[in-house]
Chain A
Amino acid sequence: MLSIGQYVRAQSLEEAYTLCQKKSSVVLGGILWLKMQNRTVGTAIDLCDLGLEGIEETEEEFRIGAMTSLRALETHPGLNAYTGGAMARCLGSIVGVQFRNLATIGGSLYGRFGFSDPLTLLMALGAKVELYHRGVLELEEFAALPFERDILVRVILPKTTKGAVYLSQRNTATDFPVLTFAAARRPEGLVCALGARPGKARLFRDEEGILAGGITPESAETFGRWLADQAALGHDLRAGEEYRRRICRVLARRGLLELAKEE
């Protein structure tokens, strides 16, 4: 059961940052995961008055406020046009519409949860996060950092990729994923992310040049096998390590072939 001593709607990022330095304080995202914990919170800091809700699109990038709901991302025409529908596909299996109207992108990324669908896709797309204290850094770098008491202000998604794909395997339609896979064509080459390993998402690049000659059924199969061998996979209540390894080969092959079709 979640117990909260004091609820504060921060009126500035500085106020929120100062309040969250205390160990007993928590910055509220969508609250959906937080409320599942048996935890006593001294001060619950709500960012809902700070105008961090919304998606701004420019020629160069998308700027997504931390309090933007997953549903807003899922239904955003610009994001879906840019990702070829991968954004809607990534988010559409998360519980239900009512849940996704509450869950925030800031909460989903700040937690760096292993099961996070958007962490996998946004990492593959080369997204950055803007933290109030630390500044802007790559999502890949942020995911690897230890937890710090900072405020995630927004997600910046540069429009640098050409084509993206997202696939996940679930035991039931709206459950946590057993494995997530995303791939995107970045200027430096194809990059893919694997999440729900069950650990948090990690990026993989085509280091062996398996896809250098293009994506074919054979090269996609070979890359899937290589990825399954490279990735640190494990077991949890939802799936075993060997099952994940087999699923990894299949998701990677299917994902790459979908990406090839988009060309």
Chain B
Amino acid sequence: MMFDIVGKRLWFFLISGVVILIGVTSLATFGLKAGIEFSSGSMMTVGFEQEVDQAGLRKELASLGYANVIIQSVGEDEFLIRLPELSGGAKTELEAGLAARFGTLEVREFDIVSPMVAAETAQNAAIAVAIAAIGILLYITWAFHRMPNPFHYGTCAIVALVHDTLVAVGAFSILGGLLDWEINLMFVTGILAVIGYSVNNTVVVFDRIRENLTKDAKSGFEVVVNNSLVETLSRSLNTSLTTLFMVGALLLFVGPSIQNFAVVLLIGIIAGTYSSLCIAPQLLVVWKKGRRGKAGER
């Protein structure tokens, strides 16, 4: 046997367990920070001609009556400021106030979301995630109905999916707690893309296990699973790598505006590749072992 992947399953479960525990702890402590799309308010991207530091900007904003706003540096002398809902007049005043202190500025982007629209968006995003979950479940039921033990395979694929989602959401909770990162529509879009990707990977691995079970009648279940993993390993890694190259390029060259989305994908793809190799098939083995002795099934 070239690699013994299955034999190390306890380590894999331990690693996942620790990562998810950290994420869940962070979720319980910090929760997730909702961006304006979900919680209403205003967002302003301002670029200054002169050198401006974040602390100075924070102080000036406080003196203009906007204390405790979230400020993120998104480029050279460029900042993203998260404000309460601003009317046109208040925005003009704020701009004038900042210009008086820091010189010429340019408002590159300005968004207002009213509470009504925010509530609507949050509700529909939640519905979309729920429908996606149902759709994926139906798909898994269909994709695995020809497997020897559809319920086992389906459940393990769902566990892998939940695993990947928890890792990505947990990571965002930590980023929110430490760096004030907020979740927005692009985050939800990224999570849904990750869910699709995760199931996709697991299906390819399970497909191979099914095929090998029919081809190789002699070896035990554990050996067949391990062989299947070794056979699909280079496919799983290569596909993830090519996708990660593109996501990495997005993150490096497009930057903050798409940062949420790219980081969710980055974490989700890594977690998805890991879970399709180290979690879902291993769970299958554990489940089977637990039932050993009841019947000679495979």
A pairs with B: no
Q: What is B's interface to A at a CB cutoff of 8 Å?
A: none
